[in-house]
């Protein structure tokens, strides 16, 4: 391997993805800022997106590879599978994928050095299953093109068997013996790990669990909701999580 190829192979990339109108550019900008504060050394920050308007200059914006999904189907995160393209815009090296709505609260260096071929969050709600949560996963770019190739060729079959992209992805890599999980404390769920148990949630605000590095938000509660606090019929009472503002900013 020549010097240039070796440098490309060792390069660290942080990937995120933004499409549609659910998340504005401020999510990408704040994610970049959090990563910059918590990841030592050089890295390349890439946003795969259909609209780069308003995204800060330090972020490399690239088009999302086409999946050509049928119109009108539930998205279910299938678009994330394009990160496993055999050639993702010529990028080479190790990629750490982060959802745009996570909040980084601790050091990220170990996410690039922790042993394992493919690492993902273990499902917080059903830990007895192999399914991972794809809010945070790491892989070598171009190393798993079969994941995307099979999906493209067997979309209807995959859709019937798996509810979403992370269930399909976890199943494929588990069967190949490549699926491994981050240490449980690193990526807590805001919904399951940060909200105090009832009834103390009425007087205690959400907290950051010990050793947390990336707090993930799934369901309908995102960082702005956590920061504001909320109470309605669909969610249990949540006091404002002031710590979100300490981390989720540019």
Alpha-carbon dihedral angle through residues 170, 174, 180, 186, given to the nearest 10 degrees: 30
Q: For position 125, which CATH number holds? A: 3.90.550.10
**Whether residues 74 and 114 fall in one domain:** yes
- Give, for all 250 residues of the chain, the pLDDT tens digit: 333 443 444 699 999 999 999 999 999 999 999 999 999 999 999 999 999 999 999 999 999 998 877 776 766 689 999 999 999 999 999 999 999 999 999 999 999 999 999 999 998 777 778 999 999 999 999 999 999 999 999 988 998 999 999 999 999 999 999 999 999 999 999 999 999 998 899 999 999 999 999 999 987 789 999 999 987 655 578 999 999 999 999 9
Name the residue range of residue 105's domain: 3-181
Burial class of residue 26 in the structure, from the number of CB atoms within 10 Å of its CB (0-12 exposed, 13-18 middle, 19+ buried): middle
Residues 154, 174: one domain? yes
Q: Which of 164, 181, 198 is the last residue of a domain?
A: 181
Which of 181, 198, 214 corresponds to the end of one domain? 181
Per the structure, the count of domains in the chain is 2
Residue that is last in its domain, among 181, 201, 229 = 181
Residues 102 and 209 placed together within one structural domain of the fold: no
Q: What is the pTM of this model?
A: 0.93
């Amino acid at each position: 391997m020549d010097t240039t190829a070796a440098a490309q192979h060792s390069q660290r990339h942080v990937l995120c993805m933004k499409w549609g109108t659910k998340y504005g550019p401020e999510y990408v900008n704040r994610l970049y800022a959090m990563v910059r504060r918590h990841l030592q050394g050089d890295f390349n920050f890439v946003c795969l997106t259909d609209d780069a308007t308003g995204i800060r200059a330090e972020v490399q914006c690239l088009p999302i590879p086409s999946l050509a999904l049928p119109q009108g189907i539930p998205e279910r995160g299938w678009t994330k599978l394009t990160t496993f393209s055999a050639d993702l815009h010529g990028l080479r090296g190790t990629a750490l994928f982060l959802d745009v709505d996570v909040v980084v609260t601790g050091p990220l260096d170990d996410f690039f050095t922790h042993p394992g071929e493919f690492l993902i969050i273990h499902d917080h709600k059903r830990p007895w299953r192999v399914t991972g949560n794809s809010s945070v996963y790491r892989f070598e770019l171009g190393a798993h093109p079969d994941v995307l190739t099979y999906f493209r060729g067997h979309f209807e079959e995959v859709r019937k068997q798996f509810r979403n992209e992370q269930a399909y992805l976890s199943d494929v890599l588990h069967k190949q013996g490549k699926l491994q999980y981050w240490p449980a404390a690193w990526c807590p769920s805001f919904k399951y790990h940060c909200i105090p148990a009832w009834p103390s949630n009425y007087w205690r605000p959400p907290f950051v669990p010990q050793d947390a590095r990336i707090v993930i938000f799934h369901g309908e509660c995102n960082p702005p909701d956590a920061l504001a606090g909320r109470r309605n019929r669909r969610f249990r009472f949540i006091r404002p999580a002031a710590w979100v503002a300490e981390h989720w900013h540019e």
